[in-house]
Structure 1
Amino acid sequence: MIKSHTPSVVAVAEPFVGEHGMSRLQQCMDFGGGISNEGDGGKLWVMWKTNESIVVSCTTGQSITILAKEKDKQVAITFVYAKCSYLDRRKLWEDLSSMRTGNTHWIVMRDFNIIHNDGERIGGRPRLNIAMGEFKDFIDAVGLVEANYEGNMMSWCNGQQGRVRSWARLDRTLVNGSFLLDFPRVLLSYLLRQSSDHSPLIVSLEQRNKSYGFIPFKFQ
C-alpha cells in the first residue's frame, strides 16, 4: 500500500508493537508528525507528512481526532478503532457524540467493529440487534452519512477456511453535511487484504468550486 499510494495522513490500527515502532515507521515513510492513543488504553497510530498543517484535537481509548487544512477548509478527521464489546463501544458513541462539530467539516473512518445490518456480513454469527441499533442511532444523532465507496466492502475476514470462514463490513467512512458541501466527490477505496485481516482503506478528496444537486440528509 505504501508503495502504490502517497497518502498525506496514515492511520494504523492494532500495530502489535509499542509507540517506539511508530517512530521507525514514520522514518520509513518520511512522515514528520505522529500521535498514538496508547496512553489512553488504545491501539491506534496516526501519522502525517511534515508539510501538512495538522493539530491533534482529541484522543480517547477508541479514537484519535486531528484537525487538518485542505486548501482553505478546516477538516476534523476522526480515526476509529472500536472495541469488540458493544458495551465498550457505548463509550465510543458517547465520546464522538460529544464532539459534535457544528459547521466544521467532519469525516469519521476506519474500524467500527460493528455492521449496520446482517446484509453486511457473509457467514459467521448474526450480530446483536441492540449493537447494530446503537450504531445506527449514533450515526443518525450526529448527522453523518456514508461516503461513496469502491471495491469489496466486506473489509474483514476471519482468516478461517471452509464453512467457518466469514466476512463483514467492519470498516467504513462517514461524513457530515458540511463536509459534503465542499467535498461531494469524496471516495473510499477498499484495497486488497494482505497480511492483515482487514482491508487497507484509501480516502481521496476532490474539492470542487461548486456542488451539484442536493446533499444527502436525514431528519426525524
Structure 2
Amino acid sequence: MGKLEGKVAVITGGSSGIGLATAKRFVEEGAHVVITGRREKELQDAAASIKTNVTAVLGDVARLEDLDRLYAIVKEKHGHIDILFANAGAGTIAPLAVASESHFDQTFDVNVKGMFFTVQKALPLFNDGGSIILNSSVSNVKGLAGFTAYAASKAAVRNFARGWTMELLGRKIRVNCMSPGAIETPALETTTGLTAEQAKQAAEQFTTMIPMARRGKPEEIAAAVTFLASDESSYITGIDLPVDGGMAQV
C-alpha cells in the first residue's frame, strides 16, 4: 500500500519540472492523478511518461473557463478530489525601473488569481479531510533583485495558506505551503526571459547562496509534497515548508 493509495489528486502545472516529478511520485504512491498544463505537446508527453493512472487536461489556470472545464472532467471521471497541488506558476525577470504592466499582470494572473480560483473551484469536489498544497517560493521571504513582482505574488500565496487553513478547518481540509529554493527545472532557461548564458550564470549565482552548495532536484520537492499530501502530516496545517538546501534559512 502506498502513502496515497486510492486517492484522487489534481496537479496544476504538471507537464514538467516539479509538477511532473510530483505526479510521478503520487502515482507511485497509489494515487490517480489529473495533471494540467498550457502546452499541449509537453502535457501529452508528460502523461505518456507517467503511463498509468493519469489524466491530462489542457488549460491555463489564469482562465477561469479552463478551470471550470478541468473540474468538470475531474467530476465526470472521479467524482471527487482528495489532494490538490496548486503548483502552476510564472516568473520573468524585470527590474522595478523597467517592469511593464503586462509583466506585472501576467505574474499576478497566474500566481495569485490563478492560485485563488484553482483552490476555490476545487472545493465543491473536495472530500472532507483532504489536503491542499500550495507552491510558493523562498522568494516570499527573500529580497531578490529583478524578481520583486514574483516575490510579492509568492508572499500572497503564503498568506492564502494561513487564511484558508482557518476557513477550511470545519471540513478538516489541511492547507499548507511548500517553498522551493533553486531547483533544477527547465523554468530558469525557458520562462524567466534569460538567455542560455544568463540562465547558466544565474544558476551558478544561486548555488553560491545555498549552504548545501547545489540546486535541488524536482524529485526532492516531490517527496516533500507527498509528505504534506499524506496522512504522515496529519497534524500539520498552515505551515510554509521550505525545501531549499538552507537558502532562506541561515
TM-score bucket of the superposed structures, by smaller chain:
0.3 to 0.5
**TM-score (normalised: structure 1):** 0.45
**TM-score (normalised: structure 2):** 0.41
Higher relative contact order by CA 8 Å / sep ≥ 6: 1 or 2?
2
